Amino acid sequence: MIRPIVAGNWKMNGVSNSVSEINSLKEKVSSPSNCDILICPPATLIMAFSHILKETPIELGGQTCHSAASGAHTGDISSEMLKDCGANYVITGHSERRMDHGELDKIVKAQTEAAWRAGLKAILCVGELIGERKADLTLKVIERQLKNSIPEGATADNLIIAYEPVWAIGTGLTPTVDDVATVHTFIRNNLIETQGQQVGSNMRLLYGGSVKPGNAKELMAASNVNGALVGGASLKAEDFAGIIAAYE
Ligand code: PEP
């Protein structure tokens, strides 16, 4: 039985008074849930949130990390820094990083290795662009991203794969449940083939792209979906708690 995880990616949103939203989430999910719960706020808020969330089931993660541990990389943040301020996870390969910062598969691979070096679990994102879906290239794109971005040494504990069709992120559009199941089953089989039965069959596979309280239950029930990576709807405690409720 794979324990699901519902992860929220706040992206470049949130300032110090967002502690009220985190306090509200803490009240809503104070008792242990049937899934792990993660918030990835901007790096500026991780330390403050880690104090608020101590002794709660809600964990914290970063949204990206540099491949180096420290050095002359202005504006970047290392996985060691994220760990130091209270994170246990980091997202790697999010499509917004791939597009805005030119993070190619080999960079994503190095970042994922860096996450493990610091003792963080990585949530590695894959997903196709709308043109690739229309050209029937979805599975090919995902196969390439998995092949080129997963480092040696992946386990079901240190790596989570998030399938996020780029055209579904922040648009209100979602694939059909059957389409989600098809891609997730493809990823599951690919991981079993490339990482071995034990690792591949136990790794958590998240769906991301316009998950909301109203569609979460249906999407989370698709085969080989073990949770969600949520953007916009994670910013409001009530909506995020509504998505977590899909696992009640
Ligand atoms: C995301 O950016 O990871 C995401 C899934 O965003 P949204 O839920 O807003 O589509």
Instruction: Give one word for 238, left, alpha or beta, with left for phi > 0 and alpha for psi -120 to 50.
Output: alpha
Rounded to whole angstroms, the Cα distance separating 144 from 170 reads 24
Residue 78, ligand 1, Cβ within 6 A: no
Decide: 209 in ligand 1 pocket, CB within 6 A: yes
CB of 170 shorter than 6 A to ligand 1: yes
Q: What six digits make up the tokens of 212? A: 């909301």
Q: What is the CATH number of the domain that holds 143?
A: 3.20.20.70
Q: Which residue has the higher pLDDT, 31 or 196?
A: 196
pLDDT of residue 65: 98
Tokens 């491949």 map to which residue? 67
pLDDT digit string (tens) for 174-212?
999 999 999 999 999 999 999 999 999 999 999 999 999
Mean pLDDT over 135-157 rounds to 98
Local confidence band at 117 (pLDDT 50, 70, 90 cut-offs): very high
For the stretch 96-108, pLDDT in tens is 999 999 999 999 9
Ligand 1 atom, smallest distance to 9 CA: 3
| Ligand 1, atom nearest to 234 Cα | 8
Q: Measuring CA to CA, which residue among 213, 222, 214, 217 is closest to residue 241?
A: 213
Number of compact structural domains in the chain = 1
Give residue 175 CA to ligand 1 midpoint distance, Å. Answer: 13
What's the domain range around 212? 5-247
Q: How far is the centre of ligand 1, averaged over its atoms, from the C-alpha of 209 (Å)?
A: 5
Separation CA 195–CA 176 (nearest Å): 28
Nearest residue CA, atom 6 of ligand 1?
A: 231
Query: What are the phi and psi torsion angles at 29 (to 5°)?
Result: -125, 40
Angle (CA) 101-105-106 rounded to 5° is: 100
pLDDT at residue number 122 = 99
pLDDT band at 166; cut points 50, 70, 90: very high
The pLDDT score that the predictor gives to residue 127 is: 98
Mean per-residue pLDDT, 13-36: 92
